[in-house]
Chain A
Amino acid sequence: MKNAIELQEVHKSFGTTKIIHGVSLDIRDGERHAIIGPNGAGKSTLFNLISGRYEVSAGRILLHGADITNLRPFEINRQGLSRSFQVTNIFHHMTVFENIRCGVLWSAGYRYSFWHRVGGLKDVKLRAEEVMERIGLAKRRNLPAGTLTYAEQRALEIGVTIAGGASVILLDEPTSGMSRTETAQVVELVRSITQGKTLVMVEHDMGVVFGLADRISVLVYGEVLATGAPEEIRANPAVQEAYLGALHKETADA
């Protein structure tokens, strides 16, 4: 099976602080892969390295076999990788429709065009409407994004991410701060939008992780402790020791 993403001995330090120590990880084409780990393990940093937000200190990152190490975010995006953010990162003054459209324009081939009338682009409009339908915000299309509820903004965040039709999707804690019902809706949304695509997600909610992921990687102190199918991870004593055990203990204490 081909790999969508390959990390080869990736290191990242900020000054003298090492955050990621030699992570090697294969994300298979078409799988749903969750990255879990305690706070400060470097999950978000790993996302930022893959998506080009941070520069890699050492090592290589491949996307569909092509080297994307230290490319700029827009270059990586154009090669078919799109990401969402843990803290909602949308265009607050624009309407829902305009937000989605921003995600569509480049991939639809209009790039920096100043000779097309954006309102007249039927393909862009259709694609944006399809995305709005999928994320359940079709009725909100003309509202400014800043006026949406938190859960709606999180859905819009995912909408902007998938709008360009990227084949590899990175979602950073898509359910953070959501109620149980909202979480269930997001899980269904993520399941449907990633059909036939590769998904990598950072997630704290173990219910979501074990329900969605084909494989799970456990990141502890900047290193991959284990990678495997959910049941393997659950049964792995080292993982239980380092992470799940600690989590259970926390829950028991609380």
Chain B
Amino acid sequence: MKYAPLNLGRWILWSGAALVFLIAPHLFSGGFALTMLTQMGTLILFALSYNMLLGQGGMLSFGHAVYSGLGAYVTVHVLNLMGKGSFYLPVPLLPLVGGLAGLFFGVLFGYVTTKRAGTTFALISLGIGEMVFACVRMFPGFFGGEAGVSTNRVVGQPFLGLTFGPAIQVYYLVAVWCFLGMAAMFALTQTPLGRMANAVRDNPERAEFVGYNTQHVRFLQLVLSSFFAGVSGALSCINFEIVSEENVSAIRSGGVLLATFIGGVPFFFGPVLGAIVFVFFVVALSGFTKAWLLYLGLFFVLMVVYAPGGIASLILMQFPVIRAGRWRELLVPYALAALAGLVVLAGLIGLVEMVYRLSEQGASTVLTVLGVSFDARSAPPWIVLGAVLAAGLAALRAAMRLVGERWGTIQLDLQAKAAP
């Protein structure tokens, strides 16, 4: 029997996470990196709260931005009232306001959405998302119409000497809340409700026959999830100092679904990885190319088809192989696959960028890569890049076959060893 009073691995993991939060802004210095890190923290919280529904409760929601967005709207109004001097609340406690607002709307809308599971739940969540989005234009007094509601986060007395004017202070505010939220959400997976949410996800019928009202389980899970969504909404409000219809939009709801799925729905830490990659695509890549959304979409489709367990599953798959000391056998196939993948990427990116240059009015059609200039209106670059893509794909196929063969052999050996 396994007896582990102190789960060492878990302690190392959590301390490591705290350390990363602490030193990340020093590793990646500069205003742009800080912006990205702050947004990552916010999205990590949001994606984890989303996975409380999708991963842990089996609820595919198309309207999760409703809770973060409305949390953000309430926060922005509270912040503005504080600015007018109506009352005082330390800025670091504002995410609690957003969280409670999210919780309130979770109770309100969750009562309707969680009456059903599966497809019906997904459709109702989509409907409620559209409804709230429509309200933004209908009630400009609260939502600020198209322009949204802007604010100033530097209000009142500095809290312990912190004004939250400088971006680095905002980053650490986000980091602390993100870490606390992560810990709280992980703790929730270890409670009776958390476990029964898994049971209701896997086999709702059986859950009813062991005494659980599946509707209540889904409802409570959604209400708790919307609290953390609200916290993340408040953090984004503090960070951007503006809340607009985009915050409650289907785009935001779809984004968190993408991020969560890319990271890995079956694992608690999956959405953390997903959020990091997603922010990289949205914030960093969008600065380089107009085609970023296309790349994100492609990446998402590839993940859904080839790695439905997300990045987390790809990483965790390697552990048994590493533990068995067989990873060396995979080094060469992996390197070959990576190389082939780079060739595919080069061909693909070249073609996509040329298409974008041609479709954009007034843009120069001349591209320069590694000092070589070529014109997208001439045939040679199309032929060359097309050939590169084709060759890359062929090479990738061969490399993946090699990976598959080696992988299969190792798995068979491991299984043979595991069997008594």
Contacts and interface: CB of A to CB of B under 8 A. Distances in A.
Interface of A: 51, 72-74, 77-78, 82-83, 85, 89-94, 98, 101-103, 105-107, 110-119, 121, 142, 160, 163-164
Given A94-B199, A117-B191, A112 B220 contact: yes
Given A74-B212, A91-B199, A94-B199, A118 B206 contact: no
Given A91-B203, A93-B202, A72 B192 contact: no
B127 to A, nearest CB: 26
A162 B213 CA distance: 19
Given A91-B202, A94-B202, A74 B208 contact: yes
B192 A164 contact: no
Nearest to A160: B210
Contacts of B205: 89
A93 B192 CA distance: 17
B220 A118 contact: no
A95 B420 CA distance: 19
Nearest to A93: B202
B211 interface: yes
Contacts of A111: 192
Interface in B213-227: 213, 216-217, 220, 224
Given A74-B212, A142-B2, 15 more contacts: A74-B208, A74-B211, A89-B206, A91-B203, A98-B195, A101-B195, A103-B210, A106-B212, A107-B211, A112-B192, A113-B191, A113-B193, A114-B193, A121-B192, A164-B211
B46 to A, nearest CB: 20
Interface string B263-302: 0000000000000000000000000000000000000000
Interface residues on B, range: 20 to 34
A113 B202 contact: no
Q: Which of B187, B196, B224 is packed against the most chain A CB atoms within 10 Å? A: B196
B292 to A, nearest CB: 36
B207 interface: yes
Contact of B210 (A116, A121, A164): A164
17 contacts: A74-B208, A77-B208, A77-B209, A83-B209, A89-B206, A90-B206, A92-B202, A101-B195, A105-B196, A106-B210, A112-B196, A113-B193, A114-B220, A118-B191, A118-B194, A121-B192, A160-B206
A72 B210 contact: no
Interface of A, helix, strand, loop or mixed by DSSP: loop
A73 B209 contact: yes
A87 B224 CA distance: 34
Given A72-B213, A89-B203, A91-B202, A113 B192 contact: yes
B198 interface: yes
Contact of B192 (A83, A114, A163): A114
B190 interface: yes
Given A89-B206, A90-B203, A102-B196, A77 B190 contact: no
A73 B202 contact: no
Contacts of B211: 74, 77-78, 105-107, 164
B192 A73 contact: no
Contacts of A117: 187, 190-191
The 10 A-B residue pairs with the shortest CB-CB distance in the complex, in nearest-first order? A106-B211, A114-B193, A73-B208, A110-B192, A77-B211, A114-B191, A113-B192, A103-B210, A74-B208, A102-B199
Contact of A119 (B190, B203, B209): B190
A163 B206 CA distance: 13
Given A89-B203, A112-B216, A113-B193, A102 B209 contact: no
A107 B212 CA distance: 10
B188 interface: yes
A106 B216 CA distance: 13
Chain B CB within 10 Å — which of A114, A116, A119 has the most?
Answer: A114
A68 to B, nearest CB: 14
Given A91-B203, A92-B202, A105-B192, A77 B210 contact: yes
B208 to A, nearest CB: 4
A114 B224 contact: yes
Contact of A118 (B2, B190, B208, B217): B190
Contacts of B193: 112-114
B185 to A, nearest CB: 11
Nearest to A90: B206
Contact of B198 (A77, A94, A160): A94
Nearest to B211: A106
Given A113-B191, A117-B190, A118-B194, A74 B213 contact: yes
Question: By CB atoms of chain A within 10 A, which of B203, B205, B206 has the most?
Answer: B206
